[in-house]
Amino acid sequence: MTALRGTLSPLVRRSTLWSLFSSHIRPNNKTVRWLSQQQHRGAQGTRTSVLLTGTVDRFGGVTVKLDSSSLPLDISESAFSELLRDSLIQWKAEGKVAVWLHVPISLSRCAGAASSHGFTFHHARLDRAVLALWLGEGESRLRGFATHQIGVAGAVVDESNGKVLVVQDKNKTKNAWKFPGGMSDPGENIGATAVREVYEETGVHSQFRSLLSIRQQHNHPGAFGMSDMYFICRLSPLTYDINFCTRECLRCEWLDLAELAKTNETTPITTRIARLLLHGLEHGFDTIDLAMEEIPAYQLYQLYHRRLPMALKP
Amino acid sequence: MTALRGTLSPLVRRSTLWSLFSSHIRPNNKTVRWLSQQQHRGAQGTRTSVLLTGTVDRFGGVTVKLDSSSLPLDISESAFSELLRDSLIQWKAEGKVAVWLHVPISLSRCAGAASSHGFTFHHARLDRAVLALWLGEGESRLRGFATHQIGVAGAVVDESNGKVLVVQDKNKTKNAWKFPGGMSDPGENIGATAVREVYEETGVHSQFRSLLSIRQQHNHPGAFGMSDMYFICRLSPLTYDINFCTRECLRCEWLDLAELAKTNETTPITTRIARLLLHGLEHGFDTIDLAMEEIPAYQLYQLYHRRLPMALKP
């Protein structure tokens, strides 16, 4: 990680000095004072540059984090634009391949200024946006941001009587039985999502047993143009009393799996999973399960696949 | 969908008029002229409001898209802040539960102004940010944005000789054999990602056969704080000549599955999948596969699970 502070070329120095007195800078006293101070301190040798400073990653990308320590909080769009322009001249001269610009939401006007230099949003969350500009040859090779939302449903099967826990959503045009479920949070394992969502919707405590199925779907109406993966897990009940969430659900019942597999009052995917579960009840769940294992690699991860004879595991 | 134009309350009218002459508005001539025009046209009866206009969704959320048709492109932060404040008073009085604000990157200063009213980034991509503010009771119930990146690897197995196509990444500290793969694009099915990535890295054409395994991982270094799902697919070769990408790969070979299952020069997950594939070669791939089916529901989707006897399918 190399800070870029103090790597001023003559070319950049010229353009920076020019910008101090340019008519492109509006008469915003605070900004001019700040830039002047930089110049003054530069003359004293404590600081030699009014360029943006950043860290360099191993791919040759520069990351600049804007905050009150690097900028006056009331810097104008045009003053920031000049500063960024001069910094870009320097980074290009140094052969940098990309610039990442972290912008706090309160300094969003700097994002507007950056857009005039070709920056676009890479992503944004809560109080911060990250913009990127590819400086390398050809098409951008920058890694994209998260592209998928992950939903998880839990099929809680009571093996003692062949019943499964199902709900009907509130405010739907068609009343269809389905398995309780919802969106997985970042950092949450899918089994944990299934157990949490089942409890939140139905009041039933349960335990993760296996992954049963995955649905891939694009153009999901609630996915903001991104894609959707839906995981259906098999769970075992730890409690049986239903206390369902009246805000989300219209009905909640323990329903016969055989009945769920036959009824029209459900969705195609629920019918399919009900048939899969019936098969598991009759022939053993190891015929339908994807087993989960936690594997310590350079980081701990969870791996799902069909169970192998023990001798084949490492 | 209800436009909010023309729903001005006396309270809002007062605060709007006040803002026109307030010292909070900087002497930006164009902005003042624009606001005055609004007032003037209002007096002529053609337009009665300087509030932001938006559409209302079925949950009671308002969506406002800022663009040149709704705002002067040089509107100042403080002028937009006043406009938004007055609009928020109106939306709250109408019982709206949330406001979604779409901001083009060039108007990012409006995002800064919105942050002073409690708005935060919901997401941003390329030339647009979407901010949100929850106005309803309790914790926000707004749906989040995409949380996961999806990677896909393809294990291309030549059944005629028990070999599998593997690569070694360039620029790694340890040379480890792995299956070629990469990130799935939004809207791309995982089988298509596997086939595309295998071709891009190795020059080998292949065909999707099944899903073998899923790895879930958090705190992935390249995931920008989001979570990571990695899918390993089984593919069949359509061509055999290797022409690998020298920018991404150091080596590329057809390697004996038995050798890959034993070597230390690989990753734990590759070892595991090699053993799974060996088992499939010996006992039939239906013992390890998750079959994929396209199911037409209200939208077409892809469903993966273990194969059922035909009689159990709908």
Residues of A with CB below 8 A from B150's CB?
A: 147-148, 227, 229
Which token pair is B298? 């209200």
Would you call B148 and A144 a contact, using CB atoms and an 8 Å cutoff? no
Within the 123-142 window of chain B, which residues sit less than 8 Å (CB to CB) from chain A? 123-130
Residues of B with CB below 8 A from A189's CB?
A: 216
The 10s digit of each residue's pLDDT in A188-200 is 999 999 999 999 9
On whether any CB of chain B is under 8 Å from the CB of A73, the answer is no
For tokens 């590759």, the residue is B270
Would you call B125 and A123 a contact, using CB atoms and an 8 Å cutoff? yes
Of A105, A116, A227, which has the smallest distance from its Cβ to B115's Cβ? A105
Residues of A with CB below 8 A from B186's CB?
A: 147-148, 218, 225-227
β-partners of residue B255 are B164
Whether the predicted pLDDT of A311 surpasses 50: no
Higher pLDDT, A314 or B112: B112
Q: Which one, of B45, B30, B35, lies nearest residue B15 by Cα?
A: B35
Å between A178 CA and nearest CA of chain B: 14
Phi and psi torsions of A18, nearest 5°: -60, -40
Å between B213 CA and nearest CA of chain A: 5
ipTM, two decimals, is 0.73
What residues have CB less than 8 Å from A169, skipping those under 6 apart?
Answer: A176, A178, A248, A249, A250
Residue A127: predicted pLDDT? 96
Whether the predicted pLDDT of B31 surpasses 50: no
Whether the predicted pLDDT of A111 surpasses 90: yes
pLDDT band at A45 (very low <50, low <70, confident <90, very high): very low
* Minimum mean pLDDT range among A74-88, B139-153, B240-254: B139-153
Buried b / exposed e across B258-290, counting CB within 10 Å, b at 16+?
Answer: ebbbebeebeebbbbbbbbbbbbbeeebeebbb
Q: What is the mean pLDDT of chain A?
A: 81
Within the 142-171 window of chain A, which residues sit less than 8 Å (CB to CB) from chain B? 143-150
Would you call A148 and B143 a contact, using CB atoms and an 8 Å cutoff? no
Whether the predicted pLDDT of A246 surpasses 70: yes
> Using CB atoms within 10 A of its CB, is residue A21 exposed (0-12), middle (13-18) or buried (19+)?
exposed
Whether the predicted pLDDT of B252 surpasses 80: yes
Whether the predicted pLDDT of B271 surpasses 50: yes
On whether any CB of chain A is under 8 Å from the CB of B212, the answer is yes
Is-contact A117 A88, C-beta < 8 A? yes
- Most confidently modeled range among B8-17, B57-66, B155-164: B155-164
Would you call B125 and A145 a contact, using CB atoms and an 8 Å cutoff? yes
